[in-house]
Amino acid sequence: MPNLLIKDLRVISRGFSNDVKEWPNIPCPTCGRGNLTPAADTFVYEEAEMSKQAQYDPESGWEPDWSYGGFHCILRCGRSTCDLVRVVGNMSVVEDLDERGRWYGKWLVRLTPTFFHPSLPLVQSHEAAPRPVLQRLEAGAAVVWVDPSSAANRLRSAAEALLDDQGIPRRGHSSKGPYDIKLHQRIENFKKAKPEYSDAADALLATKWIGNVGSHEDALKISDVLDGAEMIDFALMEIYDTSREAVKKMAAEITARKGVPARKFQGAVSPGGEVSLFGQQSG
């Protein structure tokens, strides 16, 4: 099943047009279902004063893509009970390229978000995630647009919290005394202790590697963090989501009743155990 939330976030990370009608789907952090759209008369984008001045310097060799500035806007969900969301970001001018990367001399204004308040969710599995895990994911969501490496660190911390919830020890004991167990080893221990979650463990390991890079280098992009978010979202769904089991149970119950609604099932069972309703025959 595709992760539509991550798909939306990837589109958002590539930036917006200055035409609000062309803005991508922005998920509502309150309800998780609605789409945020700009509230009337709240969208503002402007070029920075130093950028404007550079245009009039005859010796600067100015080009349109030197232009820069910022934008801000209030976003509203279609559901009236949801919180308003404020977005702030950078404005730049870029070449308008076709699908083959060719440029025909046209320039576009590009708006790149750096901050949403409240922050956009990073995972679909909010209801399934244990609270300590969700708190770390929310911390990552708050900084992902402006500091991807910090956000990746928080995803790594969320993986640690997930293993805590699963009862995988952080501390070990040896002849030299107690010691901290590294996350990599904890994931391996989790995989051995609960092989039914082997795929989830592999996803957590991928999240760990991304978090490691975020800890030691400033090389991560938003797309890299979204890869990690997709991995940990998958792990959460594998471990905590009970909807598939509920569907299996429902299917078994419906089959046992041969499709008879549950509210009528008791009166439809014959003494021999066959279902009979409105003249239906079993089989």
Mean pLDDT of the chain: 88
**pLDDT confidence of residue 242:** 81
* Contact present, 263 and 239 (Cβ < 8 Å): no
Q: Domain count for the chain, please give it.
A: 2
On whether both 81 and 133 belong to a single domain, the answer is no
Is pLDDT at 157 greater than 60 in this prediction?
yes
Whether 159 is covered by a domain: the verdict is: yes
Is pLDDT at 227 greater than 80 in this prediction?
yes
| Burial of 73 from C-beta contacts in 10 A (0-12 / 13-18 / 19+) | buried
Reduced to 3 states (helix: H, G, I; strand: E, B; else coil), residue 95 is strand
Residues 6 or more apart whose Cβ sits within 8 Å of residue 99? none
- 61 — alpha (psi -120 to 50), left (phi > 0) or beta? left
Cα–Cα distance for residue pair 40/2, rounded to 1 Å: 33
**pLDDT confidence of residue 208:** 96
Cα–Cα distance for residue pair 273/134, rounded to 1 Å: 48
As a whole number, mean pLDDT of residues 209-234 equals 91
Whether 214 is covered by a domain: the verdict is: yes
Residues 6 or more apart whose Cβ sits within 8 Å of residue 204? 159, 162, 163, 187, 190, 231, 232, 235
- Dihedral of CA atoms 217, 2, 126, 159 in degrees, nearest 10, equals -40
Whether 25 is covered by a domain: the verdict is: yes
On whether both 132 and 80 belong to a single domain, the answer is no
Maximum alpha-carbon separation in the chain: 98
Cα–Cα distance for residue pair 283/279, rounded to 1 Å: 13
- pTM of structure: 0.84
On whether both 243 and 171 belong to a single domain, the answer is yes
On whether both 152 and 98 belong to a single domain, the answer is no
Neighbours of 106 (CB within 10 A): 8
**pLDDT confidence of residue 272:** 59
As a whole number, mean pLDDT of residues 190-203 equals 97
Whether 274 is covered by a domain: the verdict is: no
As a whole number, mean pLDDT of residues 69-85 equals 95
158, two tokens: 């969320």
Whether 100 is covered by a domain: the verdict is: yes
pLDDT tens for 10-19 read 999 999 999 9
Cα–Cα distance for residue pair 37/18, rounded to 1 Å: 13
What is the number of alpha carbons within 13 Å of residue 96 lying toward its C-beta?
7
pLDDT tens for 6-51 read 999 999 999 999 999 999 999 999 998 889 999 999 999 999 998 8
On whether both 20 and 73 belong to a single domain, the answer is yes
On whether both 29 and 77 belong to a single domain, the answer is yes
Domain range for 78:
1-121
On whether both 131 and 117 belong to a single domain, the answer is no
**pLDDT confidence of residue 29:** 95
On whether both 204 and 158 belong to a single domain, the answer is yes
Whether 268 is covered by a domain: the verdict is: no
Whether 157 is covered by a domain: the verdict is: yes
Reduced to 3 states (helix: H, G, I; strand: E, B; else coil), residue 113 is strand
Task: Read off the pLDDT band of 257 (50, 70, 90).
Answer: confident
pLDDT tens for 172-184 read 888 888 889 999 9
As a whole number, mean pLDDT of residues 100-118 equals 85
